[in-house]
Amino acid sequence: MKDRAGPNSGSGKVFPAEGLPDLLKHGSCDAPPASKPDNAARRAQQQISKDLTVSLPNIITTGRVILVPVIFWLVVTGQSQLAFFAFLVAGLSDAVDGYLANRFDWKTELGSYLDPIADKLLVVSMFIAFGVSGALPSWLVIAVVSRDLLIVAGVVLAWLLDRPFQMKPLGVSKANTAALVVLVAVVLADQAFALGLDRLKFLLILLTGALTFASLAAYLDLWLRHMSTADLPGSRT
Give the residue with greater pLDDT, 53 vs 194: 194
pLDDT for 107: 83
Residue extents of the structural domains in the chain = 40-122, 136-228
pLDDT for 52: 47
Give the residue with greater pLDDT, 46 vs 39: 39
pLDDT for 30: 52
Residue 236 above 60 pLDDT?
no
Mean pLDDT of the chain: 81
pLDDT, average across residues 148-152: 91
Residue 233 above 60 pLDDT?
no
Give the residue with greater pLDDT, 219 vs 110: 219
Task: State the burial class of residue 87 (Cβ atoms within 10 Å of its Cβ: 0-12, 13-18, 19+).
Answer: buried
Give the residue with greater pLDDT, 91 vs 13: 91
Residue 24 above 50 pLDDT?
no
pLDDT digits (tens, 9 = 90+) for 76-135: 999 999 999 999 999 999 889 888 888 888 888 888 888 888 999 999 999 999 999 999
Comparing 61-75, 162-176, 182-196, the range with the smallest average pLDDT is: 162-176
pLDDT for 9: 45
pLDDT for 38: 67
The DSSP annotation for the chain comes to -PPPP-TTTTSS----GGGHHHHHHHSSSSPP---HHHHHHHHHHHHHHHHHHHTHHHHHHHHHHHHHHHHHHHHHTT-HHHHHHHHHHHHHHHHHHHHHHHHTT---HHHHHHHHHHHHHHHHHHHHHHHHHTSS-HHHHHHHHHHHHHHHHHHHHHHHTT-----PPPHHHHHHHHHHHHHHHHHHHHHHH----HHHHHHHHHHHHHHHHHHHHHHHHHHHHHHTSSPPTT---
